[in-house]
Structure 1
């Protein structure tokens, strides 16, 4: 250039100018140029498009030999032969940079390129090229060394030739394309994915979800995409002969859609009952379109979350609170859409009354329309039959009522159609399902619906066999332990709503994404839950407190000896068989330790007179509160512990009532406690007392032993803390310090979160115990 300056202006013809510019472009250090407009040439610069062109014809290359130095010479021992591994298949490729149609080899030293046809002089962007080359080793591409070129993350020297193991081709090409590289393999272009679009179309009783991906103007539809995933491919064959690289998260995005749908010939179908589920699945997808029919259903389901209150119907003898009127409006909303639903209000908020108001309203509507009525069937635990009979007679006296239980039920078996409301128990239904499945009921309603939480139980199977125009479930605890319980209830309410139990379990067990949140959104329109703190500002205060008891020396030694015995035994068993096959032994050990924490007589009947710190603490408490005139409930899951307590109370001359699962005259015992001022103490087994008891005469509650699920304890406390209670309620849990009971309190927190959110992943305490949990419980 200095020579040009010394010689002054140089005159060049047109062809000479072209040649000069081409020579300048080949310089490694291209000078800064300003070309006059009359030359017709323009100087351009910009970011290059990195491009990799691979040949799918494999090269066989030996792996490094695995051997050692020659030991024969140094140690006089036999020489070990070098061992050769199997050859690996390598694919070779070349790297180019595309500047608007001008392709430059990566190792070309030229600082630019001239395009005489379009009068363009392109200045290379070496910084951008080096940045692009850094991706190659990161994704498994190795340079073919020519003595001068290499590719590393830290110090990139341009190279034109690379190779990749054939086994890594699909993954590496997909990764490379995802960071902006253009890739060709044996002449086939690989296209990066663009927008993913989803569409929902409605049928008579189903919805079909279709999807497609735009690969630079070439569209791949769901059947092709599913077929590629089924083969394990990361790319899909496109109609123009190119290959479309699937988004890295596409399989994860598709997983819940596939898990909860029926897939046939590349189409995903969902039942009518799965509308809310499908809406939840596509909610996070930026490009989703639904047809008018689905849009209407989605709006209706959204409106169900804001129920309009309905007043008491004519013929209903009573007054509904405001939240109960909203509940009646919600039940009517479900009826209009023909959907089943779960009324999951807190214990004591009057779920029975809301349902009776619904049935009275339903009866009026059908009669006014001149439509023949059908009987409605309510299935309850045996302990609740009397309560339902009393409530129905009080609030819905015009309904023709049938108590279909006991030996005399056979007399009315053929006359069920003559009644408006039929009451039966889960046990009776199980025995008489062949008869009941022949009847077309108006409503089938499950009270304490957690009774069918085990989907494989005979009771759950019998309930699903019933025929009804509408189905309802009532429960204060739709989930006690794990998500399978919720599936069982909703499979009764809306068959197929959550897919199959196996698919749902596998989907949630995968631990990907927000599976539990999706299920929560899917059931939300069909589940109404209100707590007492939300709707009953006039309910007296409830105070809960834990009373810790220090075991005496004798009881402490017995407990510690038992704990050490089980700790040694379970450590060996779990080490040999694993936690899964040791679960029964674990549960037996925990049961025995819980009993030992309560009273030695629960372990050995010959030790019922041994000291028990917990029993002594309770008796001191009872002496005080009973003498002050309070009425008291005492709950324990161990009837044998209650038996020991009864002996002590008899010795002290205390009057009390008693109820467990074997009690037949439940109602008379409840009425005596509620109405007799001399009977101020009621002993109740935890399970038997958790359902259907109204014990508002009590204002003190004692729970002698913690249950795994805090919802069961809450139900027991709510026997006293419910509508009708006028005094503050005090609830006490007796916990033996430094025992398994304290550990249970920690695990209860997991259950409390589960019950509060209604649904969760499969994290039930008993079903999900890990080796670490067992070690903690026995520590």
Structure 2
């Protein structure tokens, strides 16, 4: 058995008996560690000596010499030096200097703590040249700069360092405090001025009065006094910590006693005493004089009126005797003014109540601020000044400012502008029958001012409800730079004009504007017939969409066709293009120029689509509008034989891709187009990109965005789209963010959401599948919960805790740590699918429950002769599924972002023609441009927090043309981040619904709170 290692009773773990340990401590000498105890060491002292400077006689070549002063009149300075106690008890120099005391004292056996004290003393002496005037043997205390001197001298006593004098003044005494001032007495001291007042310089050291003749200053923090008769030198710090210049002058050059005749005492007390008392303490040692109370200072406001509506205000205190002082910022506190008996803190508080702020040193008020202060606050201050303590000194000519209280009248008109798509908007404002210039009013409203100063020095309150509404409307109608040359309103802002019309007392809208309003908001879209060249019939809702597009085209208005995926947006758009071509040909035949026609036959439409969708436009055009001439530009001019302009010259439709548009932006912008169509417009939802700018630069009278998801993540995407198709609707990005995006997304502002719906509704058409449900087969969606295998579950939980600890501190600064946060979230999402996705070799033995669940479903689906689409965002996981299909001998098609564009059609054809029963598609590559109605099952292997992405994937098969019921399965790993993603996705879908479907709304951005929710327990 191992030996027992526990300590014996009474013995510590280290093996030492506690009695022995205590006995050892008890025998330590009590004075062994005491500083300055000396023991057998040799004592040191600090010698004080009054010194004088003696000039050499004529003929002596050396300069002045330094020696001991023997009488008071010859004292130049007080000097100190280190000394040691000799064998006979006397204090001798013994070779010690300020330079060698450290090592000399050590060699002589002096207490180290004492030698360190002398070193500190020498370091704190200061750098004044006078310190070295008489050599290094002595240090002059007269210029000892550090106030730590007094602490050092007190410390000397504790360390056993003696303070010793010389043979002339052997005693050195350290006193508590000293005061330098004047002693006042009435009719007692001067027989020359009977009944008068005498002021005599005096020094009080520890309550004992002394004349100033033998007192000298120690720098600015103390004094010393020499008494040769008593043989003593006294030192003391000054009572208030610092000698004033007047106190220092009093002891360096003491004046004769000051005598004030009796007849002039009252004049002295009234006009001079308080100024004197501020620089020197005045006491009465005999009690014959009593200092008068300090009269309160007068608070003075200097108000200087200058041309151009400028008012300069300066505040000061005016004290007795004519002295002035500024009003300090610190007097805003209740204690600062109360500590000074001359300052009336109650008066300052009353002035602050009248002004709304504490008066400080100087303020310059201009324009409206000057008018408000003069008309409203100065009368209050003048009433306050009548009570005393306050005086207002006015210079310059004071204008007659006044506030106008009559209600203003607003009149609004619109006149068609020479610039296409704009109207000149006239706004007239009259108050009391007088016109108010609009630009000053606009600037005041744009800057958020509360009032407007008019030319007749009256001013108008802008807090009235009419100005609140006008401010909101002009912020939306345009920026200040646009309005400097005249106020304009774009023809797309139909509902904005209605708001102006409601606001104005009188309105005169232009005739063309009336037609636009009646058409878009009055339901007067013409029932034009479908174009003759349309080969296939349009469904009822598609026909309504075509007519809406035709109306926008005829009036030169852009718009967004936002129908759900699979409802035939391409067919509606092709119908419009065919209509436009037929209209242009008809006008050419009749000899009348079309409004937007630039040449015979009309200018072609430019269709921009993703690379994967461009070929679909060609095939759909051949199917729906075979009479239209279609040209494709899918390569840059450097890689193709002909120029883009040549392709446009012989076509009704030119189809290109977003990448080619970006690379050949100048070539496309140089052509006059009949219209611009942007398909799958998520490519231009970022206004900062080059492709967005390229789309904006296209010269076309009609612009159309075709997308089933105009808003996916936040409202800035909606602004970016309308900035292309209707640039006058929301001219300013900043104004849109302030007016709509932030209030809606951050604050849930229902009123702003309703107003935004009204703004965009005339220019955006959206029909959901629910509206055309009878024409679509049923769709059934189901969530399949997948339980991870035990080893997989343990690994996931361990990894989750590690990532949670790492991320929760980073999410608070999401902008800086966004990459790290998303990397960890992606890691957890991959781990929820298959452990081998993060380390194939290490976790090869952990099976994927998600793949097992997928193939259980596929066995039944394929066994019944059905076909399936399988989506995932992770191509590595699709590769794992492909390996399982290969092993099972199941034919499949595969498509992801790396699939070359030239092979994409072949892969799609492989599935559509039945060569493959399963189509593995990455969510990004297959989110648009695919019509796969051959499939009737959809499997989403991993959820994504953007519901639009999933909806687009499902709509690859659930769309017009599908005859069978569509089954949608979402596979979600239980107890993982995938469940949190499902919750977040549901919240993200509410914004689109609130904006487009008139329901509630929520925050659509991916916030820090959203990310915390993904990591929550």
Residues 389 and 233 of structure 1: is their aligned pair in 2 closer, same or farther, counting only changes over 3 Å? closer
Pick which of 289-298 and 718-727 moved more. Answer: 289-298
Quote how far apart the aligned CAs of 1:274 are: 4.1
Residue aligning to 1:546: 783
In the TM superposition, residue 729 of structure 1 has moved relative to its aligned partner by 1.0
1:199 alignment partner, SS class: strand
Partner of 1:581 in structure 2? 816
Please give the secondary structure, in 2, of the residue aligned with 1:311: coil
Aligned pair 1:668/2:906, yes or no? yes
**Contact 1:430/1:458 (<8 A) preserved:** yes
Alignment partner of 1:502 out of 709, 726, 734: 734
Deviates more, 1:589-598 or 1:305-314: 305-314
Work out which of the residue numbers 851, 868, 886 in structure 2 matches 1:650: 886
1:599 aligns with 2:868: no
Return the match for 1:339 from 553, 557, 567.
557
Matches of 1:483 and 1:672 in 2, distance apart? Answer: 39
Deviations, residues 737-758 of structure 1 (Å, cap 9, x unaligned) = 2222222222223321222345
> For 1:230 and 1:173, how far apart are their aligned partners in 2?
25
- Structure 1 residue 361: Cα displacement: 2.3
Could you say if the C-alpha distance between residues 670 and 266 of structure 1 is closer, same or farther in structure 2, counting changes exceeding 3 Å? Answer: closer
Contact 1:193 1:215 in 2 (8 A): yes
- Alignment match, 2:632: 403
1:118 aligned residue = none
| 2:663 counterpart of 1:431 | yes
User: Take 1:552 and 1:305, find their aligned partners in 2: how far apart are those partners?
Assistant: 60
Match of 2:334 among 62, 65, 69: 65
Q: More displaced, 289-298 or 411-420?
A: 289-298
Q: 1:63 to 1:384 in 2, by over 3 A?
A: closer
The range that moved more, 491-500 or 264-273, is 264-273
* 2:470–2:503 Cα contact (<8 Å) kept: no
Pairwise CA distance, 1:762? 12
With structure 2 as the length reference, what TM-score do the two structures score? 0.57
The alpha-carbon deviation at position 270 of structure 1 amounts to 3.4
Deviations 1:394-433 (A, max 9, x none): 2222222222225896223252112222222111222223
Moved more, 190-199 or 705-714: 190-199
Per the TM alignment, residue 717 of structure 1 is displaced from its structure 2 partner at its CA by 0.7
Decide whether the 8 Å contact of 2:783 with 2:972 is kept in 1.
yes
CA distance in 2, matches of 1:694, 1:638: 22
Aligned to 1:322: 540
Q: CA deviation at 1:646?
A: 1.0
- Cα distance in 2 for residues equivalent to 1:620 and 1:294: 64
Matching of residues 60-209 of structure 1 within 5 Å: 65-66=334-335, 87=348, 90=351, 189-192=402-405, 194=407, 197=410, 199-204=412-417, 205=419, 206-209=422-425
Label 1:381 to 1:431 Cα distance change in 2 as closer, same or farther (>3 A).
Answer: same
Instruction: Provide the aligned C-alpha RMSD in A.
Output: 3.9
Distance 1:773 1:428 in 2: 37
User: For the residues of structure 2 that align with 1:515 and 1:579, how far apart are their CA atoms?
Assistant: 27
- Please give the alpha-carbon distance, in whole angstroms, between the structure 2 residues aligned to 1:229 and 1:374: 44
623-632 vs 207-216, which deviates more?
207-216
Match of 1:689 in 2: 926
Q: How far is 1:491 from its partner? A: 2.0
Partner of 1:639: 875
- Say which one has the larger Rg: 2
Does the Cα contact within 8 Å between 1:262 and 1:268 map onto a contact in 2? no
Q: Alpha-carbon deviation of 1:731?
A: 0.8
Higher alpha-carbon deviation: 311-320 or 629-638: 311-320
Cα distance in structure 1, aligned partners of 2:426 and 2:550:
33
Assess, with a 3 A threshold, how the Cα gap between structure 1 residues 433 and 338 changes in structure 2: closer, same or farther. same
- 1:391 maps to 620
Q: 1:454-473, aligned counterparts within 5 Å?
A: 454-473=686-705
Q: CA deviation at 1:605?
A: 3.0
Aligned to 1:613: 849
Rounded Cα–Cα distance in structure 1 between residues aligned with 2:665 and 2:989: 36
Other-structure match for 1:372: 601
Distance 2:980 2:409 in 1: 49
Kindly indicate whether the alpha-carbon contact (under 8 Å) linking 1:67 and 1:83 is maintained by their aligned counterparts in 2.
Answer: no
Matches within 5 A, 1:622-633: 622-633=858-869
**Where does residue 744 of structure 1 map in the other structure?**
981
Rate the CA distance shift 1:437–1:224 in 2: closer, same or farther, 3 A.
closer
Counterpart CA distance in 2 for 1:193 and 1:382 is 64
The answer for the alignment partner of 2:193 in structure 1 is none
Name which of 568, 582, 587 aligns with 1:350.
568
Aligned residue pair count: 633
Report the CA distance between 1:328 and its aligned residue: 1.5
CA distance in 1, matches of 2:966, 2:344: 81
Q: CA deviation at 1:715?
A: 0.8
- d(CA) in 1 for partners of 2:696 and 2:831? 42
Of stretches 451-460 and 280-289 in structure 1, the one that deviates more from structure 2 is: 280-289
| Alpha-carbon distance between aligned partners in 2 of 1:479 and 1:351, rounded to the nearest angstrom | 17
- 1:240 shift after superposition: 5.9
Aligned to 1:522, which of 739, 759, 763?
A: 759
Q: Quick one: distance in 2 between partners of 1:195 and 1:412?
A: 64
1:267 shift after superposition: 7.7
1:685 CA displacement: 0.8
SS of residue paired to 1:720 = coil
C-alpha displacement at 1:610, in angstroms? 2.1
Indicate the SS of the match to 2:711: coil
Name stretches of at least 5 consecutive residues in structure 2 with no aligned partner.
1-310, 318-330, 358-368, 378-397, 589-599
- The reply on whether 1:263 has 2:480 as its aligned counterpart is yes
The 3 A distance-change label for structure 1 pair 586 and 307 is: farther
State the Cα distance separating 1:347 from its structure 2 match.
1.1
C-alpha distance in structure 2 between counterparts of 1:253 and 1:88, whole Å: 39
> Would the alpha carbon gap of residues 407 and 263 (structure 1) be closer, same or farther in structure 2, given more than 3 Å must change?
closer
Q: Deviations over 1:324-369 (max 9, x none)?
A: 1112211110111112222111111111112222222222222232
SS class of match (1:190): strand
Shift of 1:309: 4.2
Q: Contact 1:276/1:523 (CA < 8 Å) preserved in 2?
A: no
Does 2:935 match 1:698? yes
Distance 1:404 1:452 in 2: 19
Distance in 2 between residues matched to 1:509 and 1:354, nearest whole Å? 31
- Tell me what 1:412 maps to: 642
Match of 1:247 in 2: 463
Alignment partner, residue 294 of structure 2: none
Partner of 2:809: 572
C-alpha distance after superposition, 1:37-88 (max 9, x if no partner): xxxxxxxxxxxxxxxxxxx999999766327999xxxxxxxx9999979946
